[in-house]
Structure 1
Amino acid sequence: MIDPRLQTLRVLHELGTVTATAEALHLTPSTVSQQLRQLSARLGLGLLEPAGRNVRLTPAALALVEHADALFLRWEEARADLAEYADGVAGRLRITGVATAITAVIAPAAARLREELPRLTVEIGEDPDENRFELLLSGRADLAVVIPTPDGPPHDDARFVQRPVLAEPQDLLVPAGHRFARCARQGVGLAEAGGESWIRAGDPADQHQLLLTACARAGFTPRVRHHAVDWYAVAALVAHGFGIALVPRLAPVPERYPVVRVPLRGEPLPVRRFVAAVRRGTEEQPPIARAMAALCAAAGDREVQGV
């Protein structure tokens, strides 16, 4: 019911280029350009201006984006109110999240929803090459479970509601013959590992930043020699003596490699935090509200089990 060209303008404001906007909205670049020209003509205002080989939004367009954000918020709230008149919860719910979030909370939550709401179809995707907030903004996802990063939307971003879901401790992964392997029960302090060689493990967008921050608080800069994203590859590098790694408690470590997971103790204690995010205004819509409750329940089960 809201002019879809406003959504195109919002996404362009977020992504910065016509090409990226077209990809996010599954349109062609020419269609995006045409929509924005039509919108500009209807308003009698210039919305775009050249910026090198790209374009940028004019001050009028930036003001329009603010109004569009408010309109979409009100529309999501209206949908939530109208959904209360529906007979039960039905439709499709699209959830995106990092791999360990799928393992820890998304899959259990979706299974619970499947039992409680048989008319609701839940679609789950890891989407490793996508910006999950962009998936939310463009409507390609309804709920995202993410790990906040410095370059992500701030907690008070007016477009999203972000709620903490789970705090995941970090462990050290060391070779079976390493001096820390004897401390698998009592744990070690991170500062004790200052002289070690390190493997950059997992997604560099969040996991490596966590390592750098934690080591800085412990008083040293990690000497990173190798890197791998896949946890099996990380375990193989550790097992063969190429370094130690910081690994999330939920990360799978294959038993075939002679490695030992050693808990960290004392301060600083690095923790990876999962946040559930939705478009602001959708949080009271029955499918999304029920999904958020199911995620929190699944996270609570994990915490009881001592994640």
Structure 2
Amino acid sequence: MIDLRRLHVLRAVDHYGTVTAAAKALHFTPSAASQQIRQLGREIGVVLLEPQGRRVRLTPAAQRLLAHAEEIQARWELAELDLRADGDQPAGLLRLAGFPGAVTALLAPAAAALVARHSRLTPRITEAEAAECFDLLFDGDADLAIVEAKPDEPPRDRTRFDQQPLLDDPFDLVVAAGHRLAGRDRVDLAEVADEPWIVPSATCTCRTHVLAACGAAGFTPNAAHDSMNWNATISLVAHGLGVALVPRLAPIPANAEVVRLPSIGEPRRKILTVTRRGGRSSPAVAAALEELERLAPTLLTV
């Protein structure tokens, strides 16, 4: 008989990438986590860890076992939903997670609407970037997350997570109110190729989108300033320190002396909803998804 607790340790090593990282997430020592996996291997008669330099890695047998483990986890998710079901009415704690822009534009208004419609439902929101959102889902600390897909990375493990598109969020050129292009209806990014730019910092997912959009327009932006959040970007633009590409989901304060201009070609980022496999069957999650899908199209007008 397979010990499901030990199987979860194996899944954690695969999710977090190393025994050390998995052990930290599970509040184990690395040696204890390794021992759990070795014991699991002895139970089923296969080797699950093998040396790789000074470290260890999962064997092909471990990878095959993981495929079964994800099926078991998905079935367990459905079993929990069935056993805890209170009819088909959303109720209980609904844990939501998302990046800052998603919290502001999507999760906060969606949560308010859910509370108004479902008195027995209690949404709880955690602000988190994509990598942490996947960790929260894996650890069972989130039921539904909104993440920004990275154009330069493959999708996360689809056997473990159910990822579905929510919307494509266009990037607009933002210029100071007195900029020479401020009166235009639409601009070609090549028209500002020689100007100073405010670009997202290296830790921001949107940096890749901005550089790719500029590259598609035939230039590399002159990064005069780096910014970690859109409010700072808007302030720098308003003070005439450069131009910027800003996603349409990012709100611009009403008193900011800037102009948002759609760009030719409309570079976009993909926004996804993510659950654990089987998680969309939850009435609470289904209600949240319905509200998000209703809300999303209303946010994309300039």
Q: Which residue of 1 aligns with 2:166?
A: 165
Instruction: Name the aligned partner's letter for residue 192 of structure 2.
Output: A
How much has 1:113 moved relative to structure 2? 1.8
How much has 1:260 moved relative to structure 2? 1.4
How much has 1:129 moved relative to structure 2? 8.2
1:93-112 equivalent positions in 2, closer than 5 A? 93-112=94-113
How much has 1:27 moved relative to structure 2? 4.1
Unaligned runs of 5+ in 1: none
Deviation per residue, 1:251-305 (Å, 9 max, x gap): 2344665x41231243x211233211111111112121112112112224435xx
Q: Distance in 2 between matches of 1:237 and 1:209?
A: 20
Deviation per residue, 1:129-181 (Å, 9 max, x gap): 84322321222211110111135552882222222223322222223332122
Q: Which residue of 2 aligns with 1:287?
A: 284
Q: Which residue of 2 aligns with 1:228?
A: 227
Deviation per residue, 1:159-211 (Å, 9 max, x gap): 2222222332222222333212233xx13122222222222136744211111
TM (norm. structure 1) is 0.86
Q: Distance in 2 between matches of 1:51 and 1:228?
A: 39
Instruction: Name the aligned partner's letter for residue 216 of structure 2.
Output: R
8 Å CA contact 2:67–2:159 kept in 1: the answer is no
Q: Distance in 2 between matches of 1:129 and 1:296?
A: 20
1:88-167 equivalent positions in 2, closer than 5 A? 88-128=89-129, 130-150=131-151, 152=153, 154=155, 157-167=158-168
SS at match of 1:61: helix
Deviation per residue, 1:213-265 (Å, 9 max, x gap): 212222222222321112232233334443211112232344665x4123124
TM (norm. structure 2) is 0.88
Q: Distance in 2 between matches of 1:27 and 1:12?
A: 12
Instruction: Name the aligned partner's letter for residue 75 of structure 1.
Output: W
Please say if 1:60 is aligned against 2:58.
Answer: no
Compared with structure 1, are the counterparts of its residues 302 and 177 closer, same or farther at alpha carbon in structure 2 (3 Å cutoff)? Answer: closer
Q: Distance in 2 between matches of 1:256 and 1:155?
A: 40
Q: Distance in 1 between matches of 2:180 and 2:9?
A: 56
Question: Aligned residues: percent identity?
Answer: 46
Q: Which residue of 2 aligns with 1:298?
A: 295
1:1-307 equivalent positions in 2, closer than 5 A? 3-84=4-85, 86=87, 88-128=89-129, 130-150=131-151, 152=153, 154=155, 157-183=158-184, 186-201=185-200, 204-254=203-253, 259-266=257-264, 268-303=265-300, 306=301
**For this pair of structures, how many residues does the alignment match?**
301
Q: Distance in 1 between matches of 2:291 and 2:159?
A: 24
